Structure 1
Protein backbone atom coordinates (compact mmCIF):
# COMPACT_ATOMS: atom_id res chain seq x y z
CA UNK A 1 0.00 0.00 0.00
CA UNK A 2 2.79 2.44 0.90
CA UNK A 3 4.63 1.73 -2.33
CA UNK A 4 1.48 2.40 -4.35
CA UNK A 5 0.92 5.70 -2.55
CA UNK A 6 4.49 6.88 -3.20
CA UNK A 7 4.24 5.79 -6.84
CA UNK A 8 1.05 7.83 -7.28
CA UNK A 9 2.90 10.98 -6.23
CA UNK A 10 5.90 10.14 -8.38
CA UNK A 11 3.66 9.65 -11.41
CA UNK A 12 1.43 12.64 -10.65
CA UNK A 13 -1.66 10.39 -10.29
CA UNK A 14 -3.22 12.55 -7.60
CA UNK A 15 -6.78 12.98 -8.81
CA UNK A 16 -7.87 12.96 -5.18
CA UNK A 17 -6.16 16.33 -4.65
CA UNK A 18 -8.54 19.30 -4.75
CA UNK A 19 -7.50 22.68 -6.11
CA UNK A 20 -9.79 24.37 -3.62
CA UNK A 21 -10.75 24.03 0.02
CA UNK A 22 -13.30 21.29 0.64
CA UNK A 23 -16.79 22.84 0.98
CA UNK A 24 -17.82 20.41 3.73
CA UNK A 25 -14.89 21.62 5.85
CA UNK A 26 -15.90 25.24 5.35
CA UNK A 27 -19.54 24.48 6.09
CA UNK A 28 -19.17 22.33 9.18
CA UNK A 29 -15.90 23.12 10.97
CA UNK A 30 -17.29 26.03 12.97
CA UNK A 31 -20.05 23.77 14.29
CA UNK A 32 -17.46 21.69 16.12
CA UNK A 33 -16.63 24.74 18.23
CA UNK A 34 -12.94 23.89 18.40
CA UNK A 35 -11.30 26.78 20.31
CA UNK A 36 -8.91 29.00 18.38
CA UNK A 37 -5.32 28.01 19.03
CA UNK A 38 -6.07 24.28 19.32
CA UNK A 39 -3.74 22.25 17.14
CA UNK A 40 -5.43 20.14 14.44
CA UNK A 41 -4.05 16.78 13.33
CA UNK A 42 -4.46 16.01 9.61
CA UNK A 43 -3.49 12.37 8.91
CA UNK A 44 -2.34 11.35 5.40
CA UNK A 45 -2.55 15.02 4.50
CA UNK A 46 -1.01 15.07 1.02
CA UNK A 47 -0.76 18.71 0.00
CA UNK A 48 -4.34 19.64 0.78
CA UNK A 49 -5.23 23.32 0.83
CA UNK A 50 -7.58 22.49 3.69
CA UNK A 51 -4.57 22.82 6.01
CA UNK A 52 -4.06 26.45 5.01
CA UNK A 53 -7.76 27.15 5.55
CA UNK A 54 -7.51 25.69 9.06
CA UNK A 55 -4.64 28.05 9.86
CA UNK A 56 -6.80 30.94 8.67
CA UNK A 57 -9.26 29.86 11.37
CA UNK A 58 -6.39 30.34 13.86
CA UNK A 59 -5.49 26.68 14.30
CA UNK A 60 -1.92 25.42 14.15
CA UNK A 61 -1.84 22.29 11.99
CA UNK A 62 0.17 19.08 12.21
CA UNK A 63 -0.04 17.05 9.01
CA UNK A 64 1.37 13.55 8.61
CA UNK A 65 2.28 12.41 5.13
CA UNK A 66 4.26 9.44 3.81
CA UNK A 67 5.32 11.12 0.56
CA UNK A 68 8.18 13.60 0.84
CA UNK A 69 7.26 14.75 -2.67
CA UNK A 70 3.80 15.81 -1.48
CA UNK A 71 5.29 17.81 1.38
CA UNK A 72 7.81 19.54 -0.87
CA UNK A 73 5.07 20.51 -3.31
CA UNK A 74 2.94 21.88 -0.48
CA UNK A 75 5.63 24.16 0.93
CA UNK A 76 6.78 25.21 -2.56
CA UNK A 77 3.23 26.32 -3.36
CA UNK A 78 2.97 28.25 -0.09
CA UNK A 79 4.51 31.42 1.24
CA UNK A 80 7.07 31.84 3.95
CA UNK A 81 10.33 30.36 5.09
CA UNK A 82 10.52 26.60 5.61
CA UNK A 83 12.31 25.17 8.63
CA UNK A 84 13.36 21.52 8.47
CA UNK A 85 14.41 19.26 11.32
CA UNK A 86 14.07 15.66 12.53
CA UNK A 87 11.98 14.53 15.46
CA UNK A 88 11.11 11.05 16.69
CA UNK A 89 12.19 9.43 13.43
CA UNK A 90 10.19 11.84 11.24
CA UNK A 91 11.48 14.55 8.95
CA UNK A 92 9.54 17.69 9.87
CA UNK A 93 8.99 20.70 7.59
CA UNK A 94 7.50 23.77 9.23
CA UNK A 95 6.02 26.70 7.31
CA UNK A 96 4.19 29.29 9.35
CA UNK A 97 1.87 27.50 11.75
CA UNK A 98 1.83 24.29 9.69
CA UNK A 99 4.20 21.45 10.52
CA UNK A 100 4.36 18.47 8.17
CA UNK A 101 5.75 15.21 9.50
CA UNK A 102 7.08 12.90 6.78
CA UNK A 103 6.63 9.25 7.68
CA UNK A 104 4.21 6.49 8.61
CA UNK A 105 1.10 7.65 10.49
CA UNK A 106 1.18 4.44 12.55
CA UNK A 107 4.63 5.36 13.85
CA UNK A 108 3.35 8.68 15.23
CA UNK A 109 2.59 8.22 18.92
CA UNK A 110 1.01 9.99 21.85
CA UNK A 111 4.34 11.47 22.97
CA UNK A 112 4.44 13.53 19.76
CA UNK A 113 0.71 14.30 19.95
CA UNK A 114 0.78 16.08 23.30
CA UNK A 115 -0.50 19.39 21.89
CA UNK A 116 -3.14 17.95 19.53
CA UNK A 117 -6.72 18.81 20.45
CA UNK A 118 -8.65 18.14 17.21
CA UNK A 119 -8.41 16.37 13.86
CA UNK A 120 -9.59 16.58 10.28
CA UNK A 121 -9.80 13.55 7.97
CA UNK A 122 -10.98 14.06 4.43
CA UNK A 123 -8.90 11.47 2.58
CA UNK A 124 -7.11 9.29 5.14
CA UNK A 125 -9.64 6.64 6.17
CA UNK A 126 -10.95 6.18 2.65
CA UNK A 127 -7.40 5.77 1.32
CA UNK A 128 -6.88 2.65 3.43
CA UNK A 129 -7.97 -0.90 2.59
CA UNK A 130 -10.52 -2.54 4.85
CA UNK A 131 -7.94 -4.55 6.79
CA UNK A 132 -6.12 -1.36 7.82
CA UNK A 133 -9.09 0.87 8.67
CA UNK A 134 -9.71 -0.69 12.10
CA UNK A 135 -6.06 -0.14 12.98
CA UNK A 136 -6.32 3.46 11.80
CA UNK A 137 -9.44 4.18 13.87
CA UNK A 138 -7.85 2.75 17.01
CA UNK A 139 -4.58 4.63 16.47
CA UNK A 140 -6.42 7.90 15.87
CA UNK A 141 -8.29 7.39 19.15
CA UNK A 142 -4.97 7.04 20.95
CA UNK A 143 -3.81 10.41 19.63
CA UNK A 144 -6.92 12.48 20.43
CA UNK A 145 -7.57 13.49 24.06
CA UNK A 146 -10.97 13.10 25.73
CA UNK A 147 -13.22 15.89 24.50
CA UNK A 148 -11.14 16.36 21.35
CA UNK A 149 -13.27 16.87 18.25
CA UNK A 150 -12.84 16.09 14.61
CA UNK A 151 -14.44 16.24 11.19
CA UNK A 152 -14.49 13.05 9.13
CA UNK A 153 -15.42 12.90 5.45
CA UNK A 154 -16.13 9.44 4.04
CA UNK A 155 -17.11 8.20 0.61
CA UNK A 156 -19.38 5.54 -0.80
CA UNK A 157 -19.14 4.27 -4.37
CA UNK A 158 -21.08 2.00 -6.68
CA UNK A 159 -18.21 -0.36 -7.44
CA UNK A 160 -15.79 -2.19 -5.17
CA UNK A 161 -12.67 -0.44 -6.40
CA UNK A 162 -10.31 1.86 -4.63
CA UNK A 163 -8.63 3.86 -3.40
CA UNK A 164 -10.64 5.80 -2.49
CA UNK A 165 -12.46 2.94 -0.79
CA UNK A 166 -16.14 2.57 0.01
CA UNK A 167 -16.85 3.34 3.69
CA UNK A 168 -20.55 3.39 4.59
CA UNK A 169 -22.39 4.59 7.70
CA UNK A 170 -22.40 1.15 9.32
CA UNK A 171 -18.63 0.91 9.02
CA UNK A 172 -18.16 4.38 10.52
CA UNK A 173 -20.12 3.20 13.55
CA UNK A 174 -18.16 -0.06 13.79
CA UNK A 175 -14.83 1.70 13.56
CA UNK A 176 -15.36 4.70 15.82
CA UNK A 177 -18.32 4.21 18.18
CA UNK A 178 -16.21 2.57 20.91
CA UNK A 179 -14.02 5.66 21.32
CA UNK A 180 -15.98 8.56 19.82
CA UNK A 181 -19.47 9.95 19.91
CA UNK A 182 -20.58 10.26 16.30
CA UNK A 183 -22.92 12.77 14.66
CA UNK A 184 -23.90 12.43 11.01
CA UNK A 185 -23.88 15.93 9.54
CA UNK A 186 -24.60 15.61 5.83
CA UNK A 187 -24.62 13.40 2.75
CA UNK A 188 -23.42 15.00 -0.45
CA UNK A 189 -24.87 14.53 -3.89
CA UNK A 190 -23.99 11.35 -5.77
CA UNK A 191 -21.62 12.05 -8.64
CA UNK A 192 -23.28 10.76 -11.80
CA UNK A 193 -19.95 10.02 -13.49
CA UNK A 194 -18.29 7.78 -10.92
CA UNK A 195 -21.04 7.02 -8.40
CA UNK A 196 -19.07 8.62 -5.56
CA UNK A 197 -20.99 10.20 -2.69
CA UNK A 198 -19.37 11.90 0.28
CA UNK A 199 -20.69 11.94 3.84
CA UNK A 200 -19.62 14.23 6.66
CA UNK A 201 -19.38 13.28 10.35
CA UNK A 202 -18.56 15.08 13.58
CA UNK A 203 -16.65 12.98 16.10
CA UNK A 204 -15.87 13.70 19.75
CA UNK A 205 -13.40 11.59 21.72
CA UNK A 206 -14.83 9.79 24.70
CA UNK A 207 -12.84 9.20 27.91
CA UNK A 208 -10.81 7.76 29.50
CA UNK A 209 -7.44 9.26 28.77
CA UNK A 210 -5.96 7.81 25.54
CA UNK A 211 -2.83 6.94 27.47
CA UNK A 212 -4.86 4.31 29.34
CA UNK A 213 -6.55 2.55 26.38
Structure 2
Protein backbone atom coordinates (compact mmCIF):
# COMPACT_ATOMS: atom_id res chain seq x y z
CA UNK A 1 0.00 0.00 0.00
CA UNK A 2 1.77 3.08 -1.30
CA UNK A 3 1.21 6.80 -0.55
CA UNK A 4 -0.41 7.08 -3.98
CA UNK A 5 -3.16 4.74 -2.77
CA UNK A 6 -4.34 7.25 -0.15
CA UNK A 7 -3.90 10.27 -2.37
CA UNK A 8 -6.05 8.56 -5.00
CA UNK A 9 -8.71 7.65 -2.42
CA UNK A 10 -9.10 11.32 -1.53
CA UNK A 11 -9.12 12.38 -5.16
CA UNK A 12 -11.87 9.89 -5.97
CA UNK A 13 -13.87 10.75 -2.86
CA UNK A 14 -13.54 7.20 -1.55
CA UNK A 15 -13.38 8.31 2.05
CA UNK A 16 -15.97 6.26 3.90
CA UNK A 17 -13.55 6.27 6.85
CA UNK A 18 -14.20 9.99 7.35
CA UNK A 19 -16.69 10.67 10.15
CA UNK A 20 -18.50 13.91 9.36
CA UNK A 21 -19.86 14.23 12.89
CA UNK A 22 -16.65 13.23 14.65
CA UNK A 23 -16.22 10.24 16.93
CA UNK A 24 -18.31 10.21 20.11
CA UNK A 25 -15.68 8.17 21.94
CA UNK A 26 -13.25 11.10 21.88
CA UNK A 27 -15.10 13.47 24.26
CA UNK A 28 -16.09 10.49 26.41
CA UNK A 29 -12.55 9.22 27.01
CA UNK A 30 -10.22 12.16 26.34
CA UNK A 31 -10.53 13.44 29.96
CA UNK A 32 -8.86 10.20 31.12
CA UNK A 33 -5.55 11.58 29.86
CA UNK A 34 -5.78 14.43 32.42
CA UNK A 35 -3.91 16.92 30.28
CA UNK A 36 -3.18 20.45 31.36
CA UNK A 37 -5.14 23.22 29.67
CA UNK A 38 -3.48 24.31 26.46
CA UNK A 39 -1.44 21.14 26.05
CA UNK A 40 -0.40 20.46 22.43
CA UNK A 41 -1.77 17.21 20.98
CA UNK A 42 -0.91 15.16 17.90
CA UNK A 43 -3.34 13.59 15.42
CA UNK A 44 -1.60 11.19 13.00
CA UNK A 45 -3.12 10.58 9.55
CA UNK A 46 -5.67 13.22 10.45
CA UNK A 47 -7.41 13.59 7.09
CA UNK A 48 -10.01 16.32 7.50
CA UNK A 49 -11.24 14.95 10.82
CA UNK A 50 -13.67 17.18 12.68
CA UNK A 51 -12.14 15.70 15.83
CA UNK A 52 -9.29 18.19 15.39
CA UNK A 53 -11.78 21.04 15.75
CA UNK A 54 -13.15 19.39 18.91
CA UNK A 55 -9.67 19.14 20.39
CA UNK A 56 -8.98 22.77 19.53
CA UNK A 57 -12.30 23.75 21.10
CA UNK A 58 -11.24 21.88 24.24
CA UNK A 59 -8.31 24.28 24.52
CA UNK A 60 -5.54 22.31 22.85
CA UNK A 61 -3.05 23.29 20.20
CA UNK A 62 -3.46 20.59 17.55
CA UNK A 63 -0.69 19.20 15.32
CA UNK A 64 -1.89 16.91 12.57
CA UNK A 65 -0.02 14.84 10.01
CA UNK A 66 -1.69 14.00 6.70
CA UNK A 67 -0.47 12.69 3.36
CA UNK A 68 -3.20 14.11 1.10
CA UNK A 69 -3.02 17.83 0.19
CA UNK A 70 -6.69 17.61 -0.81
CA UNK A 71 -7.71 16.44 2.67
CA UNK A 72 -5.76 19.28 4.27
CA UNK A 73 -7.29 21.88 1.96
CA UNK A 74 -10.80 20.54 2.57
CA UNK A 75 -10.34 20.62 6.34
CA UNK A 76 -9.49 24.31 6.49
CA UNK A 77 -12.12 25.20 3.89
CA UNK A 78 -14.82 23.37 5.82
CA UNK A 79 -13.71 25.13 9.00
CA UNK A 80 -14.10 28.44 7.19
CA UNK A 81 -10.53 29.59 7.74
CA UNK A 82 -7.59 30.40 5.50
CA UNK A 83 -4.38 28.65 6.52
CA UNK A 84 -0.93 30.12 6.24
CA UNK A 85 1.45 27.77 4.45
CA UNK A 86 5.19 27.33 4.73
CA UNK A 87 7.65 24.75 3.46
CA UNK A 88 9.63 22.72 6.00
CA UNK A 89 11.85 20.19 4.23
CA UNK A 90 9.62 17.75 2.37
CA UNK A 91 6.46 19.04 4.10
CA UNK A 92 3.93 21.75 3.41
CA UNK A 93 2.91 23.04 6.84
CA UNK A 94 -0.54 24.64 7.03
CA UNK A 95 -1.54 26.65 10.09
CA UNK A 96 -4.66 28.53 11.15
CA UNK A 97 -5.37 29.47 14.74
CA UNK A 98 -4.59 26.56 17.09
CA UNK A 99 -4.40 23.94 14.32
CA UNK A 100 -1.32 23.04 12.29
CA UNK A 101 -1.22 20.21 9.76
CA UNK A 102 2.03 18.82 8.35
CA UNK A 103 1.26 17.56 4.85
CA UNK A 104 3.58 14.75 3.85
CA UNK A 105 4.73 11.25 4.76
CA UNK A 106 4.37 10.64 8.50
CA UNK A 107 7.38 8.32 8.40
CA UNK A 108 9.50 11.34 7.46
CA UNK A 109 7.98 13.72 10.02
CA UNK A 110 10.76 15.58 11.85
CA UNK A 111 10.97 15.09 15.61
CA UNK A 112 10.68 18.81 16.29
CA UNK A 113 7.14 18.77 14.83
CA UNK A 114 5.97 16.93 17.95
CA UNK A 115 8.66 18.03 20.40
CA UNK A 116 6.26 19.52 22.96
CA UNK A 117 3.24 17.28 22.34
CA UNK A 118 1.54 16.06 25.51
CA UNK A 119 -0.66 13.31 24.00
CA UNK A 120 -1.85 11.80 20.73
CA UNK A 121 -5.26 10.82 19.39
CA UNK A 122 -5.33 7.94 16.90
CA UNK A 123 -8.75 7.02 15.52
CA UNK A 124 -7.93 5.99 11.97
CA UNK A 125 -4.16 5.82 11.63
CA UNK A 126 -3.09 2.45 13.05
CA UNK A 127 -6.06 0.62 11.52
CA UNK A 128 -5.32 2.22 8.14
CA UNK A 129 -1.95 0.49 8.06
CA UNK A 130 -1.63 -3.09 6.79
CA UNK A 131 0.05 -5.43 9.29
CA UNK A 132 3.28 -5.16 7.29
CA UNK A 133 3.43 -1.43 8.09
CA UNK A 134 1.96 -1.34 11.59
CA UNK A 135 5.29 -2.16 13.20
CA UNK A 136 6.98 0.73 11.42
CA UNK A 137 4.12 3.03 12.39
CA UNK A 138 4.34 2.03 16.06
CA UNK A 139 8.09 2.61 15.96
CA UNK A 140 7.57 6.05 14.44
CA UNK A 141 5.02 6.95 17.11
CA UNK A 142 7.36 5.83 19.87
CA UNK A 143 10.13 7.99 18.39
CA UNK A 144 7.89 11.03 17.91
CA UNK A 145 6.17 10.71 21.30
CA UNK A 146 8.58 9.04 23.72
CA UNK A 147 6.78 10.29 26.83
CA UNK A 148 3.26 11.09 25.60
CA UNK A 149 0.19 8.87 26.06
CA UNK A 150 -1.97 7.86 23.11
CA UNK A 151 -5.74 7.61 23.05
CA UNK A 152 -6.22 4.85 20.48
CA UNK A 153 -9.49 3.75 18.90
CA UNK A 154 -9.09 0.38 17.24
CA UNK A 155 -11.29 -1.96 15.21
CA UNK A 156 -11.41 -5.75 15.29
CA UNK A 157 -13.37 -7.96 12.91
CA UNK A 158 -12.87 -11.25 11.03
CA UNK A 159 -10.11 -10.06 8.69
CA UNK A 160 -10.87 -12.80 6.17
CA UNK A 161 -14.24 -11.21 5.43
CA UNK A 162 -12.82 -8.17 3.61
CA UNK A 163 -9.52 -6.80 2.42
CA UNK A 164 -8.53 -3.72 4.40
CA UNK A 165 -8.28 -0.88 4.99
CA UNK A 166 -9.31 -0.62 7.70
CA UNK A 167 -7.35 -3.57 9.02
CA UNK A 168 -8.45 -5.61 11.98
CA UNK A 169 -6.25 -4.64 14.92
CA UNK A 170 -7.41 -6.48 18.05
CA UNK A 171 -5.95 -6.27 21.55
CA UNK A 172 -3.39 -8.96 20.73
CA UNK A 173 -1.97 -6.84 17.90
CA UNK A 174 -2.01 -3.64 19.97
CA UNK A 175 -0.12 -5.51 22.68
CA UNK A 176 2.40 -6.90 20.20
CA UNK A 177 3.05 -3.40 18.86
CA UNK A 178 3.11 -1.39 22.09
CA UNK A 179 3.20 -3.81 25.03
CA UNK A 180 6.97 -3.70 25.50
CA UNK A 181 7.04 0.08 25.82
CA UNK A 182 3.57 1.10 26.98
CA UNK A 183 1.07 0.24 29.69
CA UNK A 184 -2.16 -0.63 27.88
CA UNK A 185 -5.51 0.21 29.46
CA UNK A 186 -8.73 -0.88 27.75
CA UNK A 187 -11.35 1.73 28.53
CA UNK A 188 -14.28 0.49 26.45
CA UNK A 189 -15.24 -2.07 23.85
CA UNK A 190 -18.50 -1.79 21.95
CA UNK A 191 -20.32 -3.12 18.91
CA UNK A 192 -19.31 -0.75 16.14
CA UNK A 193 -21.08 -2.35 13.19
CA UNK A 194 -24.19 -0.13 13.17
CA UNK A 195 -21.97 2.96 13.13
CA UNK A 196 -19.99 1.51 10.20
CA UNK A 197 -22.55 0.91 7.42
CA UNK A 198 -19.80 0.85 4.80
CA UNK A 199 -18.07 -2.10 6.47
CA UNK A 200 -21.40 -3.85 6.98
CA UNK A 201 -22.19 -3.41 3.28
CA UNK A 202 -18.77 -4.83 2.40
CA UNK A 203 -19.57 -8.04 4.26
CA UNK A 204 -18.27 -7.56 7.81
CA UNK A 205 -20.49 -9.55 10.19
CA UNK A 206 -19.00 -8.42 13.51
CA UNK A 207 -17.07 -5.29 14.45
CA UNK A 208 -15.62 -4.49 17.85
CA UNK A 209 -14.61 -0.87 18.42
CA UNK A 210 -12.20 -0.53 21.33
CA UNK A 211 -10.71 2.43 23.16
CA UNK A 212 -7.23 2.15 24.63
CA UNK A 213 -5.04 4.49 26.61
CA UNK A 214 -1.38 3.70 25.91
CA UNK A 215 1.02 5.24 28.41
CA UNK A 216 4.79 5.00 28.02
CA UNK A 217 6.15 2.87 30.83
CA UNK A 218 7.77 4.93 33.53
CA UNK A 219 6.05 8.15 32.49
- TM-score grouping bracket, smaller chain normalisation: over 0.9
* Aligned twin of 2:74: 73
* TM alignment of 1:111-150, pairs within 5 A: 111-146=112-147, 148-150=148-150
Structure 1 residue 98: deviation in Å? Answer: 0.4
Contact 2:39/2:118, CA 8 A, preserved across alignment:
yes
Correspondent of 2:212 among 191, 195, 201: 201
Could you tell me which runs of 5 or more consecutive residues in structure 2 were left unpaired when the two chains were aligned: 195-199
CA RMSD of aligned residues (A): 1.4
Deviations 1:68-109 (A, max 9, x none): 000000011013331111113210111111001100000013
Rounded to whole Å, the distance in 2 between the matches of 1:135 and 1:38 is 26
* Aligned twin of 1:176: 178
Identify, as 1 or 2, the structure richer in helix: 2
Rounded to whole Å, the distance in 1 between the matches of 2:127 and 2:210 is 11
Deviations 1:109-153 (A, max 9, x none): 32332121210000000000101101111110111142x222000
* Aligned twin of 1:18: 19
Deviating more after overlay: 128-137 vs 86-95 = 86-95
Give the SS at the match of 1:183: strand
* Aligned twin of 1:158: 158
Deviations 1:6-35 (A, max 9, x none): 110010000000011201101000111011
Could you tell me which runs of 5 or more consecutive residues in structure 1 were left unpaired when the two chains were aligned: 209-213
Question: TM-score, structure 2 length as denominator?
Answer: 0.90
Contact 1:81/1:96, CA 8 A, preserved across alignment:
no
Q: Which runs of 4+ in 1 moved over 4 A?
A: none
Rounded to whole Å, the distance in 2 between the matches of 1:190 and 1:137 is 24
Contact 1:34/1:149, CA 8 A, preserved across alignment:
no
Rounded to whole Å, the distance in 2 between the matches of 1:83 and 1:129 is 33
Rounded to whole Å, the distance in 1 between the matches of 2:61 and 2:114 is 13
- Using a 3 Å threshold, how does the CA distance of structure 1 residues 145 and 38 change in structure 2: closer, same or farther? farther
Rounded to whole Å, the distance in 2 between the matches of 1:117 and 1:179 is 17
Rounded to whole Å, the distance in 2 between the matches of 1:91 and 1:206 is 33
Structure 1 residue 190: deviation in Å? Answer: 4.3
Aligned length: 207
